């Protein structure tokens, strides 16, 4: 029964992520005075890519890259409690699951780096360097924020952190530990991958990266991971800083608001270079993370 509920939860999260992606593409198009694609376009793209068989081969590791990437997103989902107080929708969360989820976040990035390193493009190493450099600096303020709230609640269990925030919004981490929340939410901008921190993909300037190197089923796996990862990372921040959710409606509303915050910033601000983004993450968010740890201590 537990496995069936996990599969049902996965079905909900996947479809919610696909619909969210379609609506966000529609919204950002309207900001640019365009009509945009239909909200169901992500479904069409996914079916089309999974129906195409790749005709090229760059070695085993090249094709394991998308597998590692998707495994990271699914791994985060499997150990993420979704609905507080509902055992059936808590997935396989356990004591210390917060540390495990942080590891899964990096697994996907490392897998893609190994896969791109075996690709056929001569400049793949540039993308690997960009991606790992930026993501490593993103992890610094995020880890400091996690250390702060773990010390605050005396636990590394996400379910227990959510339980400690029940009783009203004044008990949410954003109210009891605003420094850790600020550091993590700034790191969240880089984790989602919108501007000003999307130069790793540089979609408008360079015809490079996974959308070009990978195609067919492998591109479909990357698209699947993207829609899952954006939703599940929003749920992670909801659980850690915004009181979690006691029902599906609260989860959808909170997760969308958290995700739209990154979309709004990406629509308003121009793109940073990698050296600028690294300096930025190691400056303001990291200082806030250090102050959060000192504050709790």
**Would you state the pLDDT for residue 106?**
84
**Other Cβ atoms within 10 Å of 275 Cβ, number:** 11
Q: Give per-residue pLDDT as tens, 138-147.
A: 999 999 999 9
Q: What is the pLDDT of residue 235?
A: 96
| Residue owning tokens 């029902």 | 247
Backbone torsion region of residue 33, taken as left when φ is above 0, otherwise alpha when ψ lies between -120 and 50, otherwise beta: left
As a whole number of angstroms, the distance between CA 20 and CA 26 comes to: 10
CB 262 within 8 A of CB 189: yes
Measured in whole angstroms, how far is the alpha carbon of residue 272 from the centre of its chain?
19
| Residue 25 exposure: Cα atoms within 13 Å on the Cβ side | 14
Per residue in 20-77, pLDDT (tens digit) is 999 999 988 888 888 888 999 999 999 999 998 877 767 788 888 888 889 999 999 9
Rounded Cα distance between 104 and 84, Å, is 22
The phi, psi pair for 97, rounded to 5°, reads -65, -20
User: Is pTM, for the whole model, over 0.95?
Assistant: no
Query: Which one-letter DSSP state was computed for residue 205?
Result: T
Task: Read off the pLDDT of residues 213-238 as tens digits, 9 standing for 90 and up.
Answer: 777 888 888 889 999 999 999 999 99
Residue 8 has pLDDT above 80, yes or no: yes
Q: 6, 78 in Cβ contact below 8 A?
A: yes
């Amino acid at each position: 029964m537990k496995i069936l509920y996990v599969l049902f939860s996965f079905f909900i999260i996947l479809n919610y992520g696909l619909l969210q992606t379609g609506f966000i593409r529609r919204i950002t198009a309207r900001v640019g005075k365009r009509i945009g694609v239909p909200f169901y376009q992500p479904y069409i793209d996914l079916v089309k890519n999974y129906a195409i068989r790749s005709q090229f081969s760059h070695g085993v590791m090249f094709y394991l890259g998308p597998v590692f990437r998707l495994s990271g997103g699914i791994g985060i989902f499997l150990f993420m409690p979704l609905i507080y107080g509902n055992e059936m929708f808590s997935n396989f969360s356990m004591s210390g699951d917060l540390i495990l989820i942080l590891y899964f976040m990096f697994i996907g990035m490392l897998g893609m780096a190994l896969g791109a390193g075996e690709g056929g493009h001569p400049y793949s190493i540039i993308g690997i360097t960009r991606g790992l450099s930026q993501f490593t600096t993103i992890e610094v303020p995020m880890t400091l924020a996690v250390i702060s709230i773990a010390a605050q609640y005396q636990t590394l269990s996400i379910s227990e952190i959510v339980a400690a925030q029940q009783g009203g919004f004044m008990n949410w981490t954003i109210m009891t530990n605003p420094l850790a929340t600020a550091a993590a939410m700034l790191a969240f901008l880089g984790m989602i991958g919108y501007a000003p921190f999307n130069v790793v993909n540089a979609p408008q300037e360079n015809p490079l990266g996974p959308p070009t190197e990978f195609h067919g089923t492998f591109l479909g796996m990357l698209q699947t991971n993207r829609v899952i990862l954006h939703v599940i990372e929003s749920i992670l921040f909801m659980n850690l800083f915004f009181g979690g959710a006691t029902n599906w409606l609260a989860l959808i509303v909170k997760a969308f608001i958290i995700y739209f915050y990154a979309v709004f910033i990406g629509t308003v601000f121009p793109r940073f270079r990698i050296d600028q983004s690294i300096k930025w993450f190691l400056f303001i968010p990291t200082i806030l993370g250090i102050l959060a740890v000192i504050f709790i201590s």
